[in-house]
Chains A and B, each alone.
Chain A
Amino acid sequence: AQSVTQPDIHITVSEGASLELRCNYSYGATPYLFWYVQSPGQGLQLLLKYFSGDTLVQGIKGFEAEFKRSQSSFNLRKPSVHWSDAAEYFCAVGAHSSASKIIFGSGTRLSIRP
């Protein structure tokens, strides 16, 4: 069965510092992997996705993520965070063959220290 683990419930980083949010997944075949961001009171927005090909994926707002099959991970990174990046971030995994179900992690709340 598919599952997603985001081990960090809450992370605080200083503005301008680098960021890495962890995501580990469990899936028997090649997965679809997603990162979403949800600002307070807002809907979910897709940051980036991995389906196949280059394991380093570039997304919007300066985010990137790297798919590491050997570690079953898909960590999200940003070299320099901005105060506007404060939000909840969700990692998700889907079945490669049909996108029939998407399973979400529990989310990581990111706070930015001025």
Chain B
Amino acid sequence: EADIYQTPRYLVIGTGKKITLECSQTMGHDKMYWYQQDPGMELHLIHYSYGVNSTEKGDLSSESTVSRIRTEHFPLTLESARPSHTSQYLCSLFTSGRANVYEQYFGPGTRLTVT
């Protein structure tokens, strides 16, 4: 099992503001991911990290940035929020088990609305 924490759960913010969505875990797992999900739609991978100082962009182009200074934290930042950023953002991690068996866990998500 793995506990993933995301804050805030809900955020309404005006256009042009800088925001940081927090994602944290306490089990020291290396692989962490950010997904974006519009209501009723599929998940799109926007960023992932394999460990400290490792970050990569996902399949969906995103104006957000991420950092991985510590294993426990994988924050996502929008320098200047726009209404097009309105979406749900899900943080996820993979645990490495025996025989290369992986399990993926998701945080509760942050629902962002930019007005």
In chain B between 57 and 115, which residues have their CB closer than 8 angstroms to a CB of chain A? 58-59, 90, 92, 94, 100-109
- Residues on A lying within 8 angstroms of B by beta carbon are 32, 34, 42-46, 49, 51, 88, 90, 94, 99-107, 109
Q: A88-B40, A100-B31, A103-B59 are in contact. List 5 more A-B contacts (CB 8 A).
A: A34-B104, A43-B108, A46-B103, A90-B42, A105-B42
Contacts of B100 in A (CB 8 A): 51
B58 partner, pick from A43, A44, A101, A105, beta carbons under 8 A: A101
The 5 listed contacts between A and B (C-beta, < 8 Å) are: A43-B108, A44-B43, A46-B103, A104-B44, A107-B41
Contacts of A101 in B (CB 8 A): 45, 48, 58-59
- Residue from A32, A44, A46 whose CB has the most chain B CB atoms within 10 Å: A44
A105 to chain B minimum Cβ distance, whole angstroms, is: 6
Interface residue count on the B side (C-beta < 8 Å) = 26
Do most interface residues of chain B lie in helix, strand or loop, or is the interface mixed?
strand
Do most interface residues of chain A lie in helix, strand or loop, or is the interface mixed?
strand
A20 to chain B minimum Cβ distance, whole angstroms, is: 20
- In the complex, A49→B40 CA distance in Å? 22
User: Is the CB of B34 closer than 8 A to any CB of chain A?
Assistant: no
- In the complex, A49→B100 CA distance in Å? 13
Q: Are A44 and B42 in contact (CB under 8 A)?
A: no
Contacts of B59 in A (CB 8 A): 101, 103
Contacts of A49 in B (CB 8 A): 103
> Nearest B residue to A107 by beta-carbon distance?
B42
- In the complex, A67→B35 CA distance in Å? 26
- In the complex, A106→B58 CA distance in Å? 17
Contacts of B104 in A (CB 8 A): 34, 46, 99, 102
- In the complex, A51→B43 CA distance in Å? 21
